[in-house]
Amino acid sequence: MGKGFFHVPPAVNEPVKSYAPGTPEREEVLQTYHKMYKKQVEVPLYIGSKKVKTKNTQDIFPPHDHQHKVGFFHNADKKHIEKAIDEAVNAREKWAALPWEQRAAIFLKAAELIAGPYRQKMNAATMIGQSKNIFQAEIDSACEIIDFLRFNVEYMTQIFDEQPESTEKEWNRVEYRPLEGFVYAITPFNFTAIAGNLPASAALMGNTVVWKPSDSQVYSAQVIMEVFQEAGVPDGVINMVMGDPVMITDTVLASPDFSGIHFTGSTEVFKGIWSKIGKNINTYKTYPRIVGETGGKDFIVAHPSANSKQVSTALARGAFEFQGQKCSAASRAYIPKSMWAKVRKDLEKDLKSFKMGSPENMDNFITAVIHEGSFNKLKKYIDKAKKDKDAEVIIGGTCDKSKGWFVEPTVILTTNPKYTTMETELFGPVLTVYVYEDKKYEETLKLVDETSIYALTGSIFSTDRYAATKATEMLQNCAGNFYINDKCTGAVVGKQPFGGARASGTNDKAGSKLNLLRWVSPRLIKETFVPPTDYRYPFLGEN
């Protein structure tokens, strides 16, 4: 029980290190990378206090060097998942009863471990396992995860601080209880920060968790578990399991104690999970919380008044950083005819200057896409665009899988605003451009709104305030994160809470109070100091 109204350290964003030539951080991350690259790791399942090894293992290869094994992980069978659920359910009572400041201290310590002694291990693991260049790793596996951990502690206290009014006769209090049961976290490959945040945010609020990382992120997921353990997350509070995602999910969703899902990944998978939860609804003790952040088909619209160099730079960064494998990556652009020649020339120049290869070489802006499945899918769409009459590959277009899954940054120009790559999320370094007649600005905004099922991020570039305002109004339902004169990627915790609507998710805004509210179930306690002793109200009095 509390013995004071404790104030948490004010959350501050972790500064991004530069890794410029000659800096100590560059030296340190490269040394860590080389050391880790030569070794092989073995990643067990983390179930309760046990590190479980099974006979069913899977090898880990860096996407940029698919013949170089860096380790392997153990896959669970159904019994392991049932055991992980039991451990989470059993750990709940003590964890939920632990005073909030103790849970806060654990996750604040995790943030400082990542900011200090684990920083380069987290970054090197993300560079090796997910093929991020050092800058993309630093903003993800160092800064963003640190920010999530710090800011969530502050948001938790803001939630606890929200209390109803009381009077001298009655005291009204709200307790923010964790959900009754356990939370299931499923995480994607593309952000180490999301992988850490989805289980940690629910656990911070007092829940216990079964966490299933992506097969393509297990290498850095193990470092996250190391950090959580060193920070003092007790056994059973976060259980990490790998294996057949359908078997794991079906087993978890069959448990009466399942009380919420914290998902980030593709739209189709999330919709499938939602319908399974619906089918099982009579199984559960409580209505499960369903939180999912899913796909995007993010846009950049340039108004004729925009600065063309700002537009081409936003496209070069927004569409191609981390090979376009950000849910927020720009993948469709709408450029006015009067500006297109200049934007095209500058974009071509920028893309030609991109170097592509291993993240170990710090000159490389572009590295490999995550796996063979992604490589094949991207190649298929690029090859199709080369043949289709209403599309033309104007920049890039080559794919080479001899050493790693390398897809050259590619720009498709289409005359059909509803062309397949204007609508479908490809999740790779492919940008499709539609050139519109300058006078058809408003018709084009309507097209942007109607073209895709998603509503995650989008940008308007304009120096004309009326035009920017028009876009802000007309596009209000097609992006959960909307940018004016900026690229549509790079949301920062505490500054731009992130999430989208329509088929992009439940928009519960990771990195905000709104998200944490989903992991608690408030209990109102009304205490009356002097209760009445006569049932009669004054209106019953005699005239």
Catalytic residue IDs: 293, 327
Query: Closest approach of Cβ 268 to ligand NAD, in Å?
Result: 7
Amino acid making up residue 378: L
State how far the Cα of 111 lies from the Cα of 59, in Å rounded to an integer: 29
Q: Does 293 help bind ligand NAD (rule: CB under 6 A)?
A: yes
Question: Which of 152, 197, 264, 421 forms a contact with ligand NAD (CB under 6 A)?
Answer: 264
Among 88, 125, 183, 194, binds ligand NAD (CB under 6 A): 194
Regarding 186 and contact with ligand NAD (CB under 6 A), the answer is: yes
List 43, 122, 149, 269, residue binding ligand NAD (CB under 6 A): 269
97, 98, 246, 524: residue in contact with ligand NAD (rule CB under 6 A): 246
8 Å CB contact between 177 and 256: no
What mask of x and - would describe binding to ligand NAD in positions 483 to 502, judged by CB under 6 A? ---------------x-x--
Q: Do the strands 298-302 and 330-336 form a parallel or antiparallel pair, or are they unpaired?
A: parallel
Task: Write the DSSP symbol of residue 433.
Answer: E
Q: Which is nearer to ligand NAD, 54 or 305 (CB)?
A: 54
Q: Is the Cβ of residue 19 or residue 155 nearer to ligand NAD in the bound state?
A: 155
* Residue in the shown chain whose Cβ atom is closest to ligand NAD: 265
Question: Quick one: tokens of 395?
Answer: 């920049």
Q: What sign results for the dihedral spanned by CA atoms 328, 333, 339, 340?
A: positive
How many residues make contact with ligand NAD (CB under 6 A)?
32
Going by C-alpha positions, the residue among 249, 220, 226 that lies closest to residue 238 is 226
Judged by CB under 6 A, which stretch of 197-205, 221-229, 268-276, 314-322 contacts ligand NAD? 268-276
Question: x/- contact string, 449-468, with ligand NAD (CB under 6 A)?
Answer: -------x------------
Of 99, 117, 256, 272, which lies in the binding site for ligand NAD, with binding defined by CB under 6 A?
272
CB of 257 to ligand NAD, least distance (A): 18
CB–CB of 145/511 below 8 Å?
no
Question: 72 vs 340, which CB is nearer to ligand NAD?
Answer: 72
Determine, following the binding rule CB under 6 A, whether residue 75 of this chain makes contact with ligand NAD: no
Considering only residues 56, 157, 266, 307, which one is a binding residue for ligand NAD as defined by CB under 6 A? Answer: 266
Question: Taking CB under 6 A as the rule, which mask of x and - marks residues 417-446 in contact with ligand NAD?
Answer: --------x-x-------------------
Residue 402 is encoded by which pair of tokens? Answer: 């001899």
- DSSP for 250-272? HHHHT-TTEEEEEEES-HHHHHH
User: Which token pair is 47?
Assistant: 């179930």
Query: Closest separation between CB of residue 326 and ligand NAD, Å?
Result: 7
Q: Determine whether 346 is exposed, middle or buried from the number of CB atoms within 10 Å of its CB (0-12, 13-18, 19+).
A: middle
Buried b (16+ CB within 10 A) or exposed e, 83-111: bbbbbbbebbeebbeeebbebbbbbbbbb
Rank residues 108 and 269 by Cβ distance to ligand NAD and give the closer one.
Answer: 269
Question: Using the rule CB under 6 A, is 191 a contact of ligand NAD?
Answer: yes
> Is the CB of residue 40 less than 8 Å from the CB of residue 72?
yes
Contacts of 526 (CB under 8 A, 6+ apart): 170, 171, 172
Q: Rounded distance, CA 89 to CA 212, Å?
A: 16
Decide if 60 contacts 69 (C-beta within 8 A). Answer: yes
The SS3 assignment for 18 reads: coil
Distance CA(139)–CA(492), nearest Å, equals 9
Q: Does 238 bind ligand NAD (CB under 6 A)?
A: no
Binding site for ligand NAD (CB under 6 A): 186-191, 194, 212-215, 245-246, 249, 264-266, 269, 272-273, 293-296, 327, 425, 427, 456, 498, 500, 504-505
